[in-house]
Structure 1
Amino acid sequence: MGTIHQLVREHGREAARELVPEEDRRLVDLAAEILANPSSAFNITYSGFCLTALPHKALGDSAKWERQGHNVSLLIEPGSLPDGRGGFKQFGVPYGSRARLIMLYLQTRAIQTGCPEVELGGSMRDWMSRMGVPIGGSSYKVVRDQADRISACHLTFSWHGPDAGRGAKFSKESIVDGGIQLYEDDDAQPRLWVDTVRLSASFFKALREHPVPIWEPALKSISSRSMAIDLYVWLSYRLHSLSKPMPITWSALYAQFGAGYKNLFQFKPRLIESLKFVLAVYPDAKVTLEGDGVVLHHSPSPVPEKAPRGILR
């Protein structure tokens, strides 16, 4: 992938497009856009989400979600919200790229303000628009559904091994207190029923103690690809802290990122495709493909050095 960035630097975008196979021209476009982007904007996620992740596709409404990462386990349990008619409606576990973006927004704003209470309304809508997500029509319905799922679910992070001090153990802890409830007004324009939401105390505490910065322009470029988001977040967390090359087998990658794929041989080409997009938007990442998997090498953080000191962990 470094070759694509080198081609862009040496020959320019249009010439580089002619020097690669047709299926790689989109990667050249992404690489050129990233190399030309001077932004220092970044987002924040909790370190636990760098090693585990939400599902890519919908589960049954009553299905739990459990994933094993490096020294950490994640359990997400579905929950219920009031249905407005005196009863309750059950929502399944949040999934897909939109759920990931909502979670990133909530975590970023909480860290930026130093407060667990997060403003919604125009602030969230503007950020989602920057990510290329229109808040209207069918897209709005997807965002509303994922917001409900995040509001209803409960999660447990369990750290073990040498990383046991990296975060609190949540026991059926809500991500947010009070929920994120959306509605449409008489003009059919999306509005927010509540002006703010509050991250739960233990989740906010763990987030403040172990935030991981994610470069916003790169996130925007892969915002519709849930596996690419997971890989980018993972590499942003792992690469700059390595002291020596780290081989990761295909089996380990399948265990961490391959939920929803019945077999490794089905998962492998999808991961390679997603990894190409991630490396296109992370020019300094040093990741090599080997017969048994991938090898991670020490790389600079993707976030510009202008990020406030104390955030880069």
Structure 2
Amino acid sequence: MKTAPDISGIRDADLLAELEKARGTITFGAMVSFLTTKQAERDAQAKEAERLAALSPVKRKRAVTRKAVDTGEIVTRDNLQHIHTILALCSLPHSKQPLEVREYERRQGKASLVIEAGKLMTSTGQWELQPLPWGSRARLLLLYLCSEAIRQKSPTIEVAESLTAFIRDMGFEVTGGKNGSLNYFKQQLNALAACRLRIGVWGARGASTVDTKPFSKIDVWMPENPDQQMLWSSKITFSREFFDELSAHAMPINKHIIRAFAGSSHKIDIIYWLAWNLNRLDKPLTLSWEQTAEQFGGEELELWRFRQRFKKDVQGILSVLPKAPLRLTDKGLTISPAAPEVLAIPQQRKTKKP
């Protein structure tokens, strides 16, 4: 006597309805197996959704990104944005500097970046001091603007509604008012528009200095109300020198990875630096803790405080990018050669020789 198929694993009403339709047919056993598997998949998805719902928004975002990395779902060229390679080495301030602080320097090896704060004209005809650009939002804006210049293949780019769409895409709620996200991004946009960059490199044969502004012109009217349409077309023009450098040295970054760490300027800097090194390393590179602090220290004054913070930053990155070739020891930081896929960046297509 044949044993009846076990249907106890099927519970959802629509699956039970499909089961009843197949009852009495020669395919009934196969249908039971198929629907049992389908129910198990649904149960697993529901359990995962419940687990994600219990997480904080930041942890939930990182968990979703980790899964997309593991499956390779986001490792596509459509998900790439671009940043200037100089900004992968020498970064902006992490915290807001007092308005009277008009200059900030970062050094790495035999390279130095000096950022000078500037002024912008107001609607009342007055020159207004702008602070130094700082934090994650300034970094996100630079990534967005550099990416748009590359995509539009022009130093003058239209931003218009796409800027608010980008803010949403980075996981920030778009809100108006004095303390709204639009105002915070506008502050950083103004600071970036007014600042000047001085890049210096040196060695045994001499030294070189590049003095440039990222933007030569900015015309942006951002609405106070996030639902209000912009009344004018908003345009930003990169300086020709910066745009030419960007076109020649644009570094790809996966937007989903940056989105997972959009609130952390420290983690964004680590990812940029890691992406830059993956393009050039052919053997492991070790930085002492002192060298690591020089590269990523920001405003910390004490090495032990930096080490504590940096270890947490690396742990956070590895929770999303488990194959990232970063290792911390008592001596410092070691990075090893790896394929760009460890950062969810697809391999470049090889051009065919004519």
| TM bracket (short chain) | 0.7 to 0.9
CA contact under 8 A between 1:240 and 1:299: conserved in structure 2?
no
Cα distance, 1:270–1:179 mapped onto 2, change above 3 Å: same
Counterpart position of 1:49: 87
Measured against aligned partners, the alpha-carbon deviations of 1:110-138 in whole angstroms (never above 9, x if no partner) come to 11222111111122222221111233231
- Say which SS state the counterpart of residue 76 (structure 1) adopts: strand
Please say if 1:142 is aligned against 2:180.
no
Q: Which amino acid aligns with 2:131?
A: G
Which whole-Å deviations, capped at 9, do the CAs of 1:229-275 have from their partners, x for residues lacking one? 00001101113421111111111111121121121111111111111
Q: Please give the residue correspondences for 1:218-229 in structure 2 after superposition, counting only pairs within 5 Å.
A: 218-229=257-268
Q: Does 1:241 align with 2:280?
A: yes
Equivalent of 1:82 in 105, 112, 121: 121
Deviation at 1:169, TM superposition (A): 4.0
Identity within the alignment, %: 25
Are the aligned partners of 1:51 and 1:70 in contact in 2 as well (CA < 8 Å)? no
Residues 18-57 of structure 1 aligned to structure 2 (within 5 Å): 30-36=65-71, 38-39=73-74, 40=76, 41-57=79-95
1:309–1:58: structure 2 CA closer, same or farther, 3 Å change rule?
farther
Question: Aligned to 2:156, which of 111, 117, 125?
Answer: 117
The answer to whether the 8 A contact 2:175-2:226 is kept is no
Q: Give the Cα separation in 2 of the matches to 1:147 and 1:209.
A: 24
* CA–CA distance in structure 1, aligned partners of residues 217 and 65 of structure 2: 39
Q: Does 1:264 align with 2:303?
A: yes
Q: 1:254 to 1:200 in 2, by over 3 A?
A: same
- 1: CA distance, partners of 2:95 / 2:257: 23
CA distance 1:276–1:186, change in 2 (3 Å): closer
The CA deviation at 1:280 is 2.8
Contact 1:44 / 1:107 at 8 angstroms: preserved in 2? yes
Partner of 1:305: 346
TM-score (structure 2 length as normaliser): 0.74
The answer to whether structure 1 residue 127 and structure 2 residue 169 are counterparts is no
Structure having the higher Rg: 2
Tell me how far apart the structure 2 counterparts of residues 187 and 242 of structure 1 sit (CA, whole Å). Answer: 44
Kindly report structure 1 stretches of 4+ aligned residues shifted beyond 4 Å: 11-14, 25-30, 185-188, 306-310
* Partner amino acid, structure 1, of 2:67: A
The aligned counterpart of 2:210 is: 170
Q: Determine whether 1:158 maps to 2:196.
A: no
Give the TM-score normalised by structure 1: 0.83
Structure 1 residue aligned with 2:16 = none
* CA distance in structure 1 between the aligned counterparts of 2:114 and 2:226, rounded to whole angstroms: 40
Q: Is the 8 A contact 1:121 1:191 kept in 2?
A: yes
> Contact (CA 8 Å) 1:242, 1:297: kept in 2 or not?
yes
Map of 2:239 onto structure 1? 200
What is the RMSD of the two structures over their aligned residues, measured on CA atoms?
A: 2.9
**Across the two proteins, how many residue pairs are aligned to each other?**
288
Distance 1:203 1:187 in 2: 31
